[in-house]
Structure 1
């Protein structure tokens, strides 16, 4: 009798150990199935969002914004990490945000979709977890179907308990004190409270639409500005739209395209920083540049990447400066910023970066004998050195609109066509959108330029004509009948 009792006890112990092993196996592979097969992509309001779950020591939500980095917060009390990655922004969304409805209403619409998505997302995770637990437990232990089903069911029940704990304790307010990783660690210094940013953006969009609607009226007589008192020769003059530092601002795109169309410019020269991080989403934000049917000459900046350069090359008339080229009869010399050759837009060593940029100066200066009409480079310090060799140098980088003339040389910084990007939307003093329309004849010094500034928050528009002494003198010598009294 004692022998039977001992055998029964051993059998029960073995069964308990076996079920424990089955349950551990089932739970492990249930988690693996969720981790490996569970990531799901949803298209919401023009955004492509990838949702995924993974084990974690502390409940956390991580929002990935490649290539900026990520934002995270401890939002719930369960050993689970919810990851959301933004992988795509539709061009229709970018256009609608600018023209159709407000940013704040878009955010509300986006939030309203999330509760409807989560039940389907969780259901998928449960199905995958059960299938993974059932299949792998059976393959490893070859146990009976009843035992395998029981282990899989218990494993999924544990997962459901974790899911319930996650959503029962979830607190979105944790993102009021987020943690940043990657380049976006600069965000606390660069990005204001969302409510402030959205209200500013809505106001900018409202005012910009108003200006865009009326800008052709404002410039209706731009082509009638007499530059030298001899209209018969005006066809020789090339009108060049000079811009820089757009920083992916869609409002700046409206500004640029309106100027190009209203002034009927012959080409655009962009001194770099078309984007902030050169991401796919930013490239989509500036795709309206494809509507410009004129040459677009580009010298990359430190915020640009190979993706930015590839986008310019994809334009019908896009030209990336890598030396000397001729466009619309103008000889243009220039080169891109060294950082644009990599995906890293952060300057880790300021001195090393400047040394690399300035090392390009002798290479460009060696082509002085080609007598380029203008030289383009992004960095302002490199431009300062090049101005000692060339009569006209265009640059950007520091967002300061400046036209310096002296010692027979001219240095033009058009400022920022994108109002310094996102930063310009909420700066207390405001950063105006700015550009320069340059009037120049091939083989001669520039005659004049129009300085254009637009402050959407103040609803102010400013345009000023500047005449260049050397160019004007040469033109008057060529046409003795011309008089300065005929100039506007």
Structure 2
């Protein structure tokens, strides 16, 4: 026998079998997903909500709660290539209100909703399995027209479904349900007005629409059972953190809506409420007295001393400048920014080392001259980091971009974006700056941060909104003081113009 001829024949047979097996597997997988898409969706009643559930192919496994037209919630629940989508088809508002107001259901309601949801998920899993296997079997039978190929396709479907299910269970993160991300579009939101329109005309349109947007999102977020609001302790102190309003009246609508919908106890503004700190701008701050809650303010580098005095004259305003006040049960230390950038006649030192040294000097004074505080509010993040170890929580702004960091001492710093979308100047740019604010939840007994919601609007002219929930993993952690470094600085500060 010619060995080479035999080898070539064997390779052809093997290659043909591999190709055929690959083709069968490919068809089986494709038809299995088609079967899941067609036969998998179910409709269930979850309390007062009529919901649809379906499974979809997704390279980034997640769970999506679709609450059209107000938007969708995304939960990073698993890493398997399958997405669970829950669509809120209809909400019986009368039944929802009755259930939420019935004191007899207060303790039982979460369990009842969980039972309804579990039953729906169970039905969905069963239909996914049956639909996927039926799709693989029928698809291979139609394409290859042989029972053995159909059985091989069925086996491929079993392997695929078992593999995806195992991966989903192995990577399942139950804690993700308390950290939802909300995104959505406002129905009927205004489109951009032509270039011939003035900034004032655009501004008035966006102001009204964004106010409606915040109200709608907040109401949905606070009332629908699928949107977990941080209510483990209903007595939590709720603080709204805003910053860098930059003379934009849209911010007042945003603050007013969030204050009402999230039942805010106090507002902390970390500066740059104006653009130039001039006398005519003082009238801008007069709406502070209408919020009905304390408004804590620290001066930013765009706020003059006159701006600070104008804020102090408003009802409910608490201006902090190297001082401490107890507000809504929290001891808050605030420090105004040492610079006033708009005054070009004054030399301003914005060198990071100088700012850090200034912050360390005041941090030392804070620990020596005051009782321990729960919260520190400053404008510049460089100064803020110098208070590491002297307080559990620091709020700052200035950067026009939100960030948070847990420092080695155990202190958390939250840098807020621009609540004014960087001011009316944002209307003149192609890419508007997002409008940002955060709701912080503090334990009323320990005064430690337990959770916070980051609220982001897409910016002036944008329709998108996002609410991202975060939990503090170790709210009772020990705060370790930073070692004392260097002498006190003079406090002068400048260089390049800052935001």
1:383 aligns with 2:384: yes
* Aligned pairs for 1:240-255 within 5 A: 240-255=239-254
Select the structure of larger CA radius of gyration.
1
Question: Which of residues 408, 411, 426 in structure 2 aligns to 1:409?
Answer: 411
Q: Return the alpha-carbon distance in structure 1 between the equivalents of residues 294 and 219 of structure 2.
A: 23
Where structure 2 has 5 or more consecutive residues not aligned to the other structure, the ranges are 1-193, 479-499
Question: Which of residues 459, 470, 473 in structure 1 aligns to 2:474?
Answer: 470
Q: Which residue of 2 aligns with 1:302?
A: 301
Residue by residue, what CA displacement relative to the aligned partner does 1:408-435 show, whole Å, maximum 9, x if unpaired?
2211112111111133222222101100
1:393 Cα deviation from its structure 2 partner: 0.7
From the superposition, tell whether residues 226 and 214 of structure 1 become closer, same or farther in structure 2 (CA, over 3 Å).
Answer: closer
Q: Return the alpha-carbon distance in structure 2 between the equivalents of residues 197 and 266 of structure 1.
A: 43
| Aligned partner of residue 475 in structure 2, secondary structure | helix
From the superposition, tell whether residues 437 and 344 of structure 1 become closer, same or farther in structure 2 (CA, over 3 Å).
Answer: same
Q: Return the alpha-carbon distance in structure 1 between the equivalents of residues 345 and 237 of structure 2.
A: 37
| Aligned partner of residue 449 in structure 2, secondary structure | coil
1:457 aligns with 2:461: yes
Q: Return the alpha-carbon distance in structure 2 between the equivalents of residues 343 and 403 of structure 1.
A: 28
1:261 Cα deviation from its structure 2 partner: 1.8
Q: Return the alpha-carbon distance in structure 1 between the equivalents of residues 469 and 477 of structure 2.
A: 16
Contact preservation (8 Å) 2:356, 2:383:
yes
Q: How many corresponding residue pairs? A: 276
Q: Return the alpha-carbon distance in structure 2 between the equivalents of residues 352 and 228 of structure 1.
A: 40
Residue by residue, what CA displacement relative to the aligned partner does 1:356-388 show, whole Å, maximum 9, x if unpaired?
674243223333372211111111111122234
Q: Which residue of 1 aligns with 2:337?
A: 337
Contact preservation (8 Å) 2:359, 2:386:
no
Contact preservation (8 Å) 1:297, 1:321:
yes
From the superposition, tell whether residues 392 and 399 of structure 1 become closer, same or farther in structure 2 (CA, over 3 Å).
Answer: same
Superposition CA RMSD, Å: 2.9
Q: Which residue of 1 aligns with 2:398?
A: 397
1:444 Cα deviation from its structure 2 partner: 3.5
From the superposition, tell whether residues 351 and 315 of structure 1 become closer, same or farther in structure 2 (CA, over 3 Å).
Answer: closer
Contact preservation (8 Å) 1:201, 1:425:
no
Length-normalised TM-score, structure 2? 0.50
From the superposition, tell whether residues 459 and 257 of structure 1 become closer, same or farther in structure 2 (CA, over 3 Å).
Answer: same
Contact preservation (8 Å) 2:330, 2:447:
no
Q: Which residue of 1 aligns with 2:447?
A: 444
1:428 aligns with 2:430: yes
From the superposition, tell whether residues 361 and 439 of structure 1 become closer, same or farther in structure 2 (CA, over 3 Å).
Answer: same
Q: Which residue of 1 aligns with 2:261?
A: 262
* Aligned pairs for 1:61-460 within 5 A: 196=195, 198-199=197-198, 202-220=201-219, 222-223=221-222, 230=232, 233-235=233-235, 237-322=236-321, 323-339=323-339, 344=343, 348-351=347-350, 355=354, 358-368=357-367, 370-407=371-408, 408-442=410-444, 443-455=446-458, 456-460=460-464
More helix per residue: 1 or 2?
Answer: 1
Q: Which residue of 1 aligns with 2:173?
A: none
Q: Return the alpha-carbon distance in structure 1 between the equivalents of residues 423 and 334 of structure 2.
A: 24
> Which segments of structure 1 move beyond 6 Å, counting only runs of 4 or more?
none
Q: Return the alpha-carbon distance in structure 1 between the equivalents of residues 259 and 273 of structure 2.
A: 17
1:201 Cα deviation from its structure 2 partner: 5.2
From the superposition, tell whether residues 346 and 220 of structure 1 become closer, same or farther in structure 2 (CA, over 3 Å).
Answer: farther
Length-normalised TM-score, structure 1? 0.52
From the superposition, tell whether residues 351 and 433 of structure 1 become closer, same or farther in structure 2 (CA, over 3 Å).
Answer: closer
From the superposition, tell whether residues 305 and 228 of structure 1 become closer, same or farther in structure 2 (CA, over 3 Å).
Answer: closer
1:398 Cα deviation from its structure 2 partner: 1.3
Q: Which residue of 1 aligns with 2:15?
A: none
Contact preservation (8 Å) 1:273, 1:304:
yes
Q: Return the alpha-carbon distance in structure 1 between the equivalents of residues 298 and 383 of structure 2.
A: 13
Q: Return the alpha-carbon distance in structure 2 between the equivalents of residues 345 and 310 of structure 1.
A: 21
1:210 Cα deviation from its structure 2 partner: 2.0
